[in-house]
Structure 1
Amino acid sequence: MPTDATSSSSGGRARRSDVRRNEQKLLEAAAAVFVRMGIDAPVREIAAESGLGMGTIYRHFPTRADLVVGVFKHQLDTLAAAADTPPAADTPYEALRLWVHRFADFLVTKHGLAEALHSDQAGFETLHAEFVDRLLPVLDQLLKASATAGYTRVDVRAYDFMLGIGNLCIGVETFPDYRSRQMIDLLLAGLALPVPALADNQPE
C-alpha cells in the first residue's frame, strides 16, 4: 500500500512532467508563430497554437524576451542534436551536407528569430554568441569527419564556412526565386575531393 510520502513523490514527478510537457508545447508553438508573424506576434496567437492558456505562458516565460530566448535556445539544441542522430547518409560528406541544409533551413525559415539574433534589445545581447558557441563545434566536427575520411578539403575553417552559408541565405528575403539550397550545394561541391574509393582505383 503506498504511503503518503510515496504518493507525494509520485505526484511531484507527475507535476514536473506536466511542466516540461507544457514548456515543450509552448516552445514549439511559439517557434511556429514566430515564423509566420515574427517575434512581436501577439501572445494570444501562441496560446491558440499551443492550446494552452495565457496564464500558463506567462508562468513559464514572464516576458516576451524570456520566450524569444527560450525558443531560440530550444531551436539551437534541436539543430545541434541533429548531428548526433544517425542521418540517412552513407558517408561523412553526406552527413555534412544533410546537416548544412538543416542549418540553412533554420536561417531561412526562422526569420523572426533572426531579428532577435541581430538585435541589441535588452535580453537578446548574448544570442549571437550562444548561436556561434552552440553550433560552430557541431559544424567543425562534421567538417573534420568528412575531411579525415578523404571526402573534403582539410583547409576549411568552420567559422568561415558558417559565414559563407549565412551569406548565401541572405538572398531569400530579397529575391523570391532565389534558390539557396542550390547555392549551398555549389559551396559544398567546392569542398569535395574525388571519392576515396574511386581515387584509390585510379591508375598510377
Structure 2
Amino acid sequence: MTDPVELGTLRLVLSIPTSDDVDAITAACQDPAVQRWTTVPSPYGRDAAEGFVNAFVPAGWEAGTARTWAIRRRTDDGTELVGMIGVEGIRDGAGEIGYWLSPQGRGLGIMTEAVSAVLDYAFDADGADLQRVQWRAYRGNRPSARVARLAGFRFEGTRRLGATGRDGREDEWTAAILATDPRSPADGWPSEATGADATD
C-alpha cells in the first residue's frame, strides 16, 4: 500500500482529490478541450466524479499502480482546483503521466510546474522510484505536447491509428523521459506538436 503524498510548489498544492472536489471536477470536465483530448466519460456527470475520487483514486494509491493529484492553485483565500495530474500503469520501474487543466488555469505555466513536481516525485527513490515515465496524446494536442517538451520528454514517434478516440481510431503522439535525462526542453519534437498556439 502507498499512502497519498502531498506535493507543493511556489504556486501550487498537489493533493489527493476528495469528495469536496466533486462539484469542481464535474464542472471542469464539461470543458470541450477536456472532453476532446482526454478519456474522461462523455457526457460527464456528477456520478463520474464521485466514482473517480471515491474509487479510482484511492484504489490506485492503495495498490501502488497509480498516483493521482488534484492541482490546486494557491489563492489569498486558500486554494482553487484547476486541474488533475497523475501517473498510472506503474509497474517494473515505469509509468505513464496524464493531466488536464480547467480553462481558468491555462496559459499561466501551471501545468509545466505541476509536471515538474510530479517528475521529481516519480524519479525519487523515496517517491515512486521510477526509471521511465511515458507520455501519450492524441495527435493534434499541442498544449499537452508543449508541456511535455518543456519538461524534458523526448519525442518517440507517431503511432498511426494507435489510440482509440471517441469517434474511432486516431493517430497518437508518444514521448518519454528517463530518470537520467536532463529536465530541460527537449529537441527533436515535430513542429506540428509544438506550435505557437499551444498553451499550458
The TM-score normalised by the length of structure 2 is 0.31
Which of the two has higher C-alpha Rg?
Answer: 1
